[in-house]
Structure 1
Amino acid sequence: MEITWLGHSCFQLRGKNAILITDPCSPQSQPTAPAALSKINASIVTVSHDHPGHNAVQSVGGHPRVVRSPGEYEISDVLITGVAAYHDTKRGQDYGRNTIYIIHMDDLVICHLGDLGHSLQEEQLEEVADADVLLLPISGDHTINATQAAEIISQVEPRVVIPMHYTPNAEATSHPLRTFCKEMGIEIVDPQPKFVVTRNTLPAEMQVILLAARQ
């Protein structure tokens, strides 16, 4: 599987039989959004919540099947489980609901937390516990912050962690990525354009992968 970050919470998961886009964002809603989502012919699109910056389904080419809510789905040999969560710590009173997606694709389990705004509850943790790759927000801007993200990682214990929902420029000392890397006890390294992984190449110990947002 090839994982590419398209900015904000948007990823392209390119598998053997399907291409899946998470939380498509448009350039009008996010300055880091790619200008050419329409050139990607996706099979599936997942939308964690119906807010601008996450729901630009019309920007994706290929007439994909769209998953917008909790439940179980099977599309193009991809199994998807949507788990109900919230965009804030007040059970959605401030920003509404959020859906966590667990994606079984190419013998891997990818978990996209969307704009999760709170710590994982026991029932949610049970659903995401088998994640090989965890895609999680770190900004603290209407989502969990870097410290909360590190706590969730310690609960889930994935093999690969890819942070999202932050601006790529990490020069400021208070930047979420710097805080996140400090919490994880790692150095900031140059981001890579994509991450290619299979069941056989998963790292033996948990690894944080920093991706460059593709434009």
Structure 2
Amino acid sequence: MTTENAVRVLLCDDHPLYLDGMEAALSCVPDIEVVGRATTGAEALTLAAELRPDLVVMDLNLPDMSGIDAIRELSGVAILVLSMSEEDSSVLAALRAGAQGYLVKGARRAEILRAVRTVADGGAVFSGVVAAHLTACLTAPVGGGTPAALPELTDREREVLDLVARGHDNRRISRELFLSEKTVRNHLSHVFAKLRVRDRAAAVARARDAGLGQG
């Protein structure tokens, strides 16, 4: 039984079994109430508008759009990212988009509960490995490097897109990066989804605008 001032949470993840586990973990405490579940970014945006949750627990890898884009479109609601990715680019992109917390999947139940309460109350929470990455970024010498282009992409996705922008086909990319052509195609499908472009030409245009494919 939930309390009157329970934190109202909307879950968004494309794996139904993971959603089941998260809902079970959160629903067994009286001060947290799961009010909705979404498996796509579009569904999360619709439910957030209808249900007005206090907090959205958001995965970044969604089938219809990047979780980063979904976070940007959510307003007036706290965001806690729960993702498999612990790469600097994903963490920084999520924070720039408006997330207040970032945990890596595999976090303990107690850590997730604490994060939900803290972020809903206006605080910020990061898992240990994410906090270490942020500390390294913040303490890096000024001028020691430039921000990564298209931070919503992983390092590997950016590498593949750079080669596409240089005019390489999938077979050549697979040889240069020692990947299978299927893996290259998978990376490109993720790039298209995250950049919200429909084809290779549009992706190349975005890449060149960001400074990739040069030299």
Larger radius of gyration: 2
Bigger strand fraction: 1
What TM-score does the superposition give when structure 1 sets the normalisation length? Answer: 0.35
Bigger helix fraction: 2
Which protein, 1 or 2, shows the higher relative CO under an 8 Å CA cutoff with sep ≥ 6?
Answer: 1
